[in-house]
Structures are given as structure tokens and as C-alpha cells.
Amino acid sequence: MQQAICSDIQAALTALQSPKATSGLVVDTMLALKSFSVFNGVRLLWVLGHSNVAGNEIIDQLAKTAANTSFVDHEPILGITMSNLNTEVYSWAKKELCKEWCATSIGRQANFFIHGHDNNLTRFAMGLNRPDLRILVDLLTGHYNTQ
């Protein structure tokens, strides 16, 4: 039996069709759809919001009711997106690394040449082949043997 699930939220449909789940709620929904589709054909359809599609209007009303209740499970527990959280953690870690790098008394020669985190220098170093990278590391650490 073929079933159609209609939604006026394109982002939800896109998330469900993505090969990578971005949240627990999406994973749970994907698993429920997979379980449901074992015995039924399932199609996810986008419909224009507030266009008098009977089932969609009922869902809109249920969503409004749910929006006014407290969360029982899943998101948004933190109230911020994972993208923002990742950006903030990365920024904090980068600042801490820079503070530690500037405060260290070891690696005098490397500190002389490298003044902190530099994405361009990192890309350059990662693009080197192994022998050239070894030479670069030896030069920066003062261990390069010219003979």
C-alpha cells in the first residue's frame, strides 16, 4: 500500500532525505519511517503551507499546540545550534592554543618563525610530501643537519 506524507516544511523533508542525520529528532524520524516503510510504500511530499490540505492543517494545529508545551525529549535542549556551538568551541580552543603558544618558554626557534596559528601555513605544510615536511619540521625546531 502506498502512503504519502505531506509537509509544508522543506527543511524537514530535506533533512529526512539527507544521507547524514543532523539531530536525534531526525534520526528517530528516519527510523520510524524506515520501520513504517517495511510494509508500506512511503512518499514524502512538499505542499504549500496553508493551502487547505486537510491533514496538513491538522498537523499545523498540533504543531502550534506542541510549541506551547515544554520539551520532553530531544531538542533544543541548549537553545543554540550545533553549528554555533562548534564555531564557539573552535574559536575558544584557538585562543587558548595561541595563549599557550605565546607563553611557552620552549621551542625558541619555532616561536621565532611561527607567531601563532596560521591556516595558510598549515595548508602549505599539509601539502608537502613527507621528506619536505620533515625538512620543514627540522628547520623550525633547530634540528636540521646541513651535512
**Per-residue pLDDT tens over the stretch 94-147:** 888 888 877 877 777 777 777 777 778 888 989 999 999 999 888 887 787 776
- Please give the pLDDT value at position 133: 92
Task: Evaluate if pTM is beyond 0.75.
Answer: no
Query: 36-80: per-residue pLDDT in tens?
Result: 888 888 888 888 887 777 777 787 888 788 778 776 665 555 567
Q: Which comes out higher in pLDDT, residue 71 or 19?
A: 19
Judge whether residue 93 has pLDDT over 70.
yes
Give 26-86 as a 3 state SS string: HHHHHHHHHHHCCCCEEEEEECCCCCCCHHHHHHHHHHHHHHCCCCCCCCCCCCCCHHHHH
Closest CA relative to residue 124, chosen from 111, 108, 137: 137
**C-alpha cell at position 35:** 520501520
Per-domain boundaries in the chain: 2-67, 82-141
- Please give the pLDDT value at position 102: 76
